[in-house]
A and B are shown apart, each in its own frame.
Chain A
Amino acid sequence: EVQLQESGPGLVKPSQSLSLTCSVTGYSITSSYKWNWIRKFPGNKLEWMGYINSAGSSNYTPSLKSRISITRDTSKNQFFLQVNSVTTEDTATYYCARGGSPFDYWGQGVMVTVSS
């Protein structure tokens, strides 16, 4: 069974970088599919942030393109999110997910708070 698991710090200071890891089991991230980061803000809003595909190419939502990077370690079957220069507006629960057409497997999410 495909499983995704996010990990990373739950608290980040403003202006610093947020770094998260998604560990995937049950499927190789180099086989197929896009591997995504999605966040849910306090309240209801869901935002797709970007993906890295099985070939290693990335694509980002335009509003975040200047601040984020999605990379991977194929030897560990993991992919990563880095968000630079965070503000309190980046406080959210961050999910990794497979696919996009649609998102068929999701991690359980990790809550990240940006606060001094």
Chain B
Amino acid sequence: NIVLTQSPATLSVTPGESVSLSCRASQSISTSIHWYQKKSNESPRLLIKYASQSISGIPSRFSGSGSGTDFTLSINRVESEDFSIYYCQQSYSSLYTFGAGTKLELK
């Protein structure tokens, strides 16, 4: 299985700060990485597909970058509704895997 390592595990920020969340793959996966936001009692929501492709209805403050093994989800000027958990997921292999998540919390 392809292992995805997310860092940091927890990120404490104040609203208005800009942040970067990291996802590293155990082997090269081209741009086959997708990002999700997970809030308590809600289903995961797709934010970014194929590393950097935007999703309709997702605020423009969310962006993604990277290829190969290193990927980044950036949030430009965090808003209060953004405090949640973020996961990366690979589809390079049809044995899909998720990262362990990064919790974005209020400082």
Which A residues have a C-beta under 8 Å from some C-beta of B? 36, 40, 44-48, 59, 61-62, 95, 100-104, 106-109
CB-based contact B49/A48 at 8 Å: no
CB-based contact A102/B98 at 8 Å: no
Within 8 Å CB of A46, what residues of B?
38, 44, 87, 89, 98, 101
Instruction: Say which residue of A44, A45, A100 sits within 8 Å of B96 (CB atoms).
Output: A100
Within 8 Å CB of B96, what residues of A?
36, 48, 100
CB-based contact B100/A44 at 8 Å: yes
**Interface residue tally of chain B, by bracket?**
20 to 34
CB-based contact A102/B46 at 8 Å: yes
The chain B residue sitting closest to A4, CB to CB, is: B43
CB-based contact B89/A103 at 8 Å: yes
Q: A107 to B46, alpha carbons, bound, how many Å?
A: 13
> Which of A36, A101, A104 is most buried by chain B, counting CB atoms within 10 A of its CB?
A101
CB-based contact B32/A103 at 8 Å: no
CB-based contact A47/B1 at 8 Å: no
The chain A residue sitting closest to B32, CB to CB, is: A101
CB-based contact A48/B98 at 8 Å: yes
- Cβ distance B91 to chain A, nearest Cβ, rounded Å: 4
Within 8 Å CB of A36, what residues of B?
96
CB-based contact B43/A44 at 8 Å: no
- Cβ distance A29 to chain B, nearest Cβ, rounded Å: 18
Whether A107 contacts B100 in the complex (CB less than 8 A), given A46-B87, A59-B95, A102-B49, comes out as no
The chain B residue sitting closest to A36, CB to CB, is: B96
